[in-house]
Amino acid sequence: MAPFFLLQLPLLPILEVVKHMKTKEMYNFSRCSKKCQQTVRNAAGNHFELRLYFWTENEIILKSKKGIENVIHFSFENFPVIPWSWTRSDNSVRRFPYKKYSGLYIKEKELIKYLVETFNCIIGELRFHCDATRNVFQPLLNFFLQSQLEFHLVAFDEGIVNDEDFKYLMDNCKMKELDLLCSVAVLSIEDFKIDVFCLRTLYSDWVTQNHLLKMSFELGYIQINCNMKKWMEIVKAWMNGWNKRMKFALFETTRFDLDLADQIIETVIPGKRIDKEVIRQYPMVPSDLNFTRHSSVLRGGYDFQRNEDGVLATITQDSGPQKRYVFAVWQ
């Protein structure tokens, strides 16, 4: 078997690799540096998270839970080399090219199985390039579901995801975070309910008021396609009990003037205007806000309450160059 490529490696000596390995095949780590081999040696009994990127150049990252410096990178060249690929520009990455056997990622799956069984891994992160995995997404996902049914993060990146693949994911897999950094092909996506801790969406052409009101999340970065009337209806929906889980959301809206909406909201929603000079520290762990790269400080805003229990929320505009609505819930 052609040797697999790796980067900085948490280490077990080769004998330990053989000892802990449950597969019949032996992967050739002899091309690794001594530092990598030492990292493998230290990996015995450790707990790792596997991050998988199925991209134009597939990347597998094995990351130790006990030390950020213990990281293994594997790189696969299934497709023509792209000049801007990060693996191409990183001189520390060694590549062992091989010919792609089929569209089912045979080599990657063999290595993933080996890593999961040898290093006591959980698969924490799955990222699928929509176009690269279009015809093999469901069998590829089934392969991962054989070992676990829940993942920390699942992401669709780039291109267009079709409704069948998206529905298959939502019906068969659980995740804490969902990234939809892609377009969605069909309007039938309205049939899908999304219930996650953290949701990120890009390409607002498909996220409408109807989609949003079927989503449940605690943290959200949402690009939404709606007019001013629909936006006000979303605010009212929260007041009337929609998505009680939500703590913080950053909405990037389209098709209407945010400044005008800011003025109108006071005539539609009962509440209190907070002066722009008033700075308030949002009561969340800063790391929870990192997903938006947003400060935990809110300036001014408009405060209003949920009807059922009086929980307070604030709507304000993002202080960054792009005008976006911050929707923060004080609970």
Two structure tokens written together for 255: 């098709």
In this prediction, residue 10 has a pLDDT band, given cuts at 50, 70 and 90, of very low
Residues 172-187 pLDDT 10s: 999 999 998 887 765 5
pLDDT at position 114: 78
pLDDT band at 23 (very low <50, low <70, confident <90, very high): very low
Tell me the pLDDT tens digit for each residue of 47-61: 678 888 877 667 777
> What pLDDT, in 10s, does the model give residues 92-148?
444 444 445 555 677 778 878 877 877 778 888 998 888 778 888 899 899 999 888
Q: Where are the domains of the chain?
A: 14-192
Structural Rg of the chain based on CA atoms: 23
pLDDT at site 256: 83
- Residue linked to tokens 């410096």: 69
Average pLDDT over residues 85-93: 47
The average pLDDT across 71-90 equals 53
**What pLDDT, on the 0 to 100 scale, is given for residue 234?**
94
Between residues 329 and 283, which one has the greater pLDDT? 329
Query: What contacts 208, CB < 8 A, 6 or more positions away?
Result: 224, 225, 226, 230
**pLDDT score recorded for residue 233:** 93
Mean pLDDT value across residues 14-30: 43
Strand 194-195 vs strand 174-184: parallel, antiparallel, or unpaired?
unpaired
Does the pLDDT at position 11 exceed 70?
A: no
pTM: 0.79
Beta strands per DSSP E along the chain? 48-54, 59-64, 71-75, 121-129, 150-161, 174-184, 194-195, 198-201, 215-216, 219-225, 248-254, 272-281, 297-305, 312-317, 325-330
Q: What is the DSSP code string of 178-211?
A: EEEEEEE--GGGGG--EE-SEEEE--TTS--HHH
Quote the CA–CA distance of 310 and 322 in Å, as a whole number. 31
Q: What is the mean pLDDT of the chain?
A: 75
Whether the CA torsion 240, 246, 247, 252 is positive or negative: it is: negative
Q: What is the pLDDT of residues 298-329, one digit of tens each?
A: 889 999 999 999 999 999 988 777 778 999 99
Cβ(178)–Cβ(200) below 8 Å:
yes
45 and 118 in contact (C-beta within 8 Å)? no
| Side-chain-facing half-sphere of 104: CA atoms under 13 Å | 7
Instruction: State the Cα angle at 289 between 284 and 292, rounded to 5°.
Output: 155
Whether residue 34 has pLDDT greater than 90: no
Among 36-45, 146-155, 242-251, the least confident range: 36-45
- Report how far residue 249's alpha carbon sits from residue 236's, in angstroms, rounded to the nearest whole number: 15
- Confidence (pLDDT) at 31: 53
Dist CA 284 CA 248 (whole Å): 9
